[in-house]
Structure 1
Amino acid sequence: MANIEKRTDSNGATSYRVRIRRKGHKTQTATFPRLTDAKRWAQQTEAAIIEGRHFVATEAKRHTMGELIERYVRDVMPTKKAGSQATQLQQLAWWKARIGEKTLADCTPAFLAECRDTLSREPIPSLATVPAPDAPERLRSPATVNRYLAVLSHAFTVAVKEWGWIESNPLLKVTKPKEPRGRVRYLSDAERERLLEACQAGGNPDLYLAVVLALSTGARQQEIMGLRWGQVDFARRVAILEETKNDERRALPLTGLALERLRERAKVRRLDTDLVFPGRVHPSHPVDLRTPWETALKRAEITDFRWHDLRHSAASYLAMGGASLAEIAAILGHKTLSMVKRYAHLSDDHTSAVVERMNARIFGDGGK
């Protein structure tokens, strides 16, 4: 029940204090300069308590962002893939250090938009022991800022759906930085030949086979390095990926040189591990190819090229070979066509041929 008390201070100013007490609920109080405002707040608040809507607003004032992040790390983070945990823990540590003391009620869309802008402007700490004095400041890219926002947004969503700490996710009202168009860097025929020769000449049997698999299947580096013999079906000529980035099962077609080299390796595979690419010292972990990969790039005189660009190369070859965007998406394991539209310009000849066949069919030879 609401109780409104009229008060007069030493200067003669009048105010109205509202106190709402209901069994099973924390007492709510507020002060207003006008009686009409006090009555309106009392009516709305009592109605919210009766309907069960006021609980969330109260919880948002009781819990801090630090509490939210700590609970998320303890209860939700262990359910995520090991590969993403380290990065997301680092991102959440940034949020906790900046806004950990704020209550959830304080974290409005406007406040979080300011945090987004701080993320974009803040220089990234150098990893070098002694940073070069003239080294330019490195800022977070729009894509990186969006990853910071994404992990916090998921924490808010869990707090809404499962914990009842807040009524809605405030980050849903915060605009994400616009990311540049996806990079398309693929190997020319000459570059591909030089790279494969360099991989073979380097004396690392793992590197050559891994690069051939990446170019022939478009698989991600983690998918290739984590491949196990139990996933390889030589009879069907496929490698089954049970765990992928999109959490969907996918089959990698094995053919040509990749299939031939994989069969050769199967004849001399190690017996102390099921990994196709086991580490030398720790066979239970995949081998680290960073050094031989960088060495091969230098020998092949290839610049501005990363391992993930092998995946772009495979997709580009598919597009230039006439594969449709839907077919490329299925091979690469993308859920939507948006990720593969970057290769559309490479399949112009194929698109033109499709239109030409359609015109010939409806207009006859004169439609060519």
Structure 2
Amino acid sequence: MPVFRKGSVWYARVELGGRRVERSAGKGAKRQDAVRLETKIRQDLIKSRLGEKPEFTIAEAMSAHIDEGVAKDTIGHIRAMLPYIEGRLLKDAHIVAREIRVDMLAKGLAPATVVRRLAVLRAVANKAYKEWEWLDDPVGQRIKMPKVQNERHVYLEPAQVRGLAEACPHPDVGKMILVAAYTGLRKGELLRVNEGEAVCRDGLLMLDAKTKTGKPRVIPVPEEVEAIVAKMPLPVSAQILKTNWQKATMACGMKDVRWHDLRHTYASWLVQAKVPLRTVQELMGHTTMAMTQRYSHLADDHLREAVEMMRRSQTPVQNRGRSA
């Protein structure tokens, strides 16, 4: 049967020249969508037999990307781009990216959010060129990102973190505030840990590849929050966390502090404790050292010490000069 349904999802299946291809039409697709998909798969297989490279759509590439395993926020960015990528060819990804950038910025979307969405599109285009060989040209390299100049870091003291936790109307959200500050987990990662999507063994949290970077992460759990993590899951949803966080920041007179600042705080504590930046990079799950370098200014004690060493080394010379 060329088209069939598994549960609520329609599929297309084609067998041609000894090859068998089966592909989902996507969540929410109807039977006619599966029929169109079956036709396209058949055409692509015929082109392949004739030595021609089939033309894939951006939507097909996104679907293949999701099948390989991505984080939840990545799926959210893909959904936001669906109106722009529907029916568009993968070879035109750089053109679609320009349309997305112009339109989303015109609608007032934060540049950082636009960058994250375009980064997904560029990553998929690069993968289609380098790994899947769906493209003859590296169109991902032509996807330009808008400049983001609104980066801000807020670093909290331990007493401020405890104050936010204690000010939370929902005590379990208060506990999660402490976990976030003492582990550096992103909000999505913390919610997944709370949902049981992580293994905790010997004081280490092990997250699978559904992280923001698409790579597994291992996070040591400090004694300050070990007992809290052991009692997870807690009755906290994303909405409960958001609502109670806002109430806690208002109660503490810190309404401009964002949840993500807890992650920045964790990094600042590590750097100020003289943890090497390479280790900080691993603990934070940063893909590049450039991301970690944003916290390097917090470790400037060695600069002061260097200048002091220089001053001390010159003092005897100056004294000898006076006595002469």
Coarse TM-score class (shorter-chain normalised): 0.5 to 0.7
Whether 1:309 and 2:261 are equivalent positions in the alignment is yes
Is contact 2:181-2:262 (8 Å) kept? yes
The alpha-carbon distance between structure 1 residues 214 and 121, as it changes in their structure 2 partners (threshold 3 A), is: closer
> Which of 67, 81, 102 is equivalent to 1:118?
102
In structure 2, which of residues 54, 66, 70 is the aligned counterpart of residue 81 of structure 1? 70
- Kindly report which structure 2 residues correspond to 1:168-247, keeping only aligned pairs within 5 A, or say none: 168-180=137-149, 182-188=151-157, 191-199=160-168, 202=169, 204-227=170-193, 228=196, 231-233=199-201, 236-243=202-209, 244-247=211-214
Q: Post-superposition shift, 1:190?
A: 5.8
User: Which residue among 267, 291, 306 is the counterpart of 1:339?
Assistant: 291
**Structural mapping, 1:1-368, within 5 Å:** 55-56=52-53, 63=55, 68-81=57-70, 83-96=72-85, 100=87, 107=92, 111=95, 114-115=98-99, 118-119=102-103, 121-123=105-107, 139-160=108-129, 166-180=135-149, 182-188=151-157, 191-199=160-168, 202=169, 204-227=170-193, 228=196, 231-233=199-201, 236-243=202-209, 244-259=211-226, 261-262=227-228, 266=230, 269=231, 276-279=232-235, 288-353=240-305, 355=306
Instruction: Give me the whole-angstrom Cα distance separating, in 2, the residues matched to 1:230 and 1:155.
Output: 26
Alignment root-mean-square deviation, CA:
3.7
| Cα distance, 1:86–1:229 mapped onto 2, change above 3 Å | closer
Q: Which residue of 1 aligns with 2:14?
A: none
Other structure's SS at 2:76 match: helix
Letter in 2 for 1:226: R
**CA–CA separation in structure 2 for the residues paired with 1:279 and 1:307:** 19
SS in 2 for 1:76: helix
- Paired residues of 1:215 and 1:310 also in contact (CA < 8 A): yes
Equivalent-residue separation in structure 1 for 2:142 and 2:198 (angstroms): 46
Deviations 1:66-89 (A, max 9, x none): x60332244332333351354233
Rounded to whole Å, the distance in 2 between the matches of 1:229 and 1:87 is: 19
What residue number does 2:322 align with? none
Q: CA distance change for structure 1 residues 360 and 323 in 2, over 3 Å: closer, same or farther?
A: farther
What does the per-residue CA deviation read over 1:289-324, in whole Å, with 9 as the maximum and x for residues that have no partner?
222222211211212111111011111222233333
Measured in 2, the distance between the counterparts of 1:84 and 1:211 equals 20
In 2 relative to 1, CA 83–365 (structure 1 residues): closer, same or farther, beyond 3 Å? farther
How many pairs align?
Answer: 264
**Equivalent residue letter for 2:121:** L
Distance 1:327 1:151, change over 3 A: closer
Q: 2:40: which partner in 1?
A: none
2:294 and 2:131 map into 1 onto residues whose CA distance is 38
Secondary structure of 1:252's aligned partner: strand
State whether residues 111 and 146 of structure 2, in contact with CA within 8 Å, keep that contact through their aligned partners in structure 1. yes
* SS at 2:266 equivalent: helix
Question: How much does 1:161 deviate?
Answer: 5.1
Amino acid aligned to 1:279: P
Percent identity, please. 27
Distance (Å, rounded) in 2 between the aligned partners of 1:184 and 1:295: 21
- Residue 162 to residue 345, structure 1, CA distance change in 2 (3 Å): closer
Q: Could you say if the C-alpha distance between residues 241 and 351 of structure 1 is closer, same or farther in structure 2, counting changes exceeding 3 Å? A: farther
Q: Name the CA distance, whole Å, in 2 between partners of 1:229 and 1:237.
A: 16
Tell me, yes or no, if the aligned pair for 1:142 and 1:179 is still in contact at 8 Å.
yes
Paired residues of 1:221 and 1:307 also in contact (CA < 8 A): yes
3-state secondary structure, aligned to 1:140? coil
Cα distance in 2 between the residues matched to 1:364 and 1:229: 59
Shift, 1:165, TM fit: 5.2
Larger Cα Rg: Structure 1 or Structure 2?
1
| Closer, same or farther: CA 148–248 of 1 in aligned 2, 3 Å | closer
How big is each residue's C-alpha offset from its partner over 1:33-67, in whole Å with a ceiling of 9 and x where there is no partner?
xxxxxxxxxxxxxxxxxxxxx945xx5xxx4xxx6
Is the Cα contact below 8 Å between 2:101 and 2:114 reproduced in 1? no
SS of aligned partner of 2:218: strand
Asked if structure 2 preserves the Cα contact closer than 8 Å seen for 1:279 and 1:286, the reply is no
Give the Å deviation of 1:191.
3.5
Which blocks of at least 5 consecutive residues in structure 1 are unaligned?
Answer: 1-53, 124-138, 270-275
Secondary structure of the structure 1 residue equivalent to 2:300: helix
- Paired amino acid for 2:200: V
Paired residues of 1:226 and 1:277 also in contact (CA < 8 A): no
Question: Which residue identity is paired with 1:187?
Answer: L
